[in-house]
Amino acid sequence: MSRIEDGGRGSIAKEGASLSSSTCMFCRIISGDERSFTVYHGDSVTAFLDKYPASPGHLLVVPNAHYTDYLEASDDVLCDLAAMTRVAGKAEKKALSADGVRVISNVGRSAGQMIFHLHIHIIPTWEGEVPFSWFTHRSEQPESEYREIAASLSASIREILAYEAEERRRADHG
């Protein structure tokens, strides 16, 4: 099962997800118990907008099963996470006309990890931006901005996944 969201919370299927206790915010987002602007939900990973974005379109890609951090996850989970991180980065560049993206995962409190569920930040960047200016105070944005960006990213992810599936089909049937 994989599903592209329309940018709203929607209902999130629990298939295949091993959820942590209700104390994990990301587990609650994956299960649909916490509001989010989800742009993709698949069998093993989910992508949603960061509530306190470093830049417009800042996404988080998380495994549906609970792992504390990058170092704890299995190779299979990391492969799925990497594949969706690549797609999400392409989607940010396409949908938001970003010039680049930052891909970051913090491991441990001293590294800046604040939510102890493995997650990858994909932060869009544009030319002329001051490097790492996103370390400044981050704040919640108006809901209309989240909705517009989430809808655009969802559509872009859908297009990229369809294109890549067609390319694989062509290669297999050469």
Query: Do the domain assignments include residue 133?
Result: no
CA separation for the pair 11, 46 (Å, rounded): 13
Q: Each residue's pLDDT tens digit in the chain (174 positions)?
A: 344 444 443 333 333 334 455 689 999 999 999 999 999 999 999 999 999 999 999 999 999 999 999 999 999 999 999 999 999 999 999 999 999 999 999 999 999 999 999 999 999 999 987 665 555 557 788 899 999 999 999 999 999 999 999 999 999 986
Query: Do the domain assignments include residue 131?
Result: no
Sign of dihedral through CA atoms 110, 39, 87, 82?
A: positive
The CATH number of whichever domain residue 112 belongs to comes to 3.30.428.10
Q: Which of 66, 119, 137, 173 is catalytic?
A: 119
Query: Do the domain assignments include residue 64?
Result: yes
Helix (H) or strand (E) holding 63: strand 59-63
User: What is the strand order of the sheet 2-3 is part of?
Assistant: 2-3, 38-42, 45-49, 59-63, 120-125, 100-104
121 catalytically annotated: no
How many domains does the structure of the chain reveal? 1
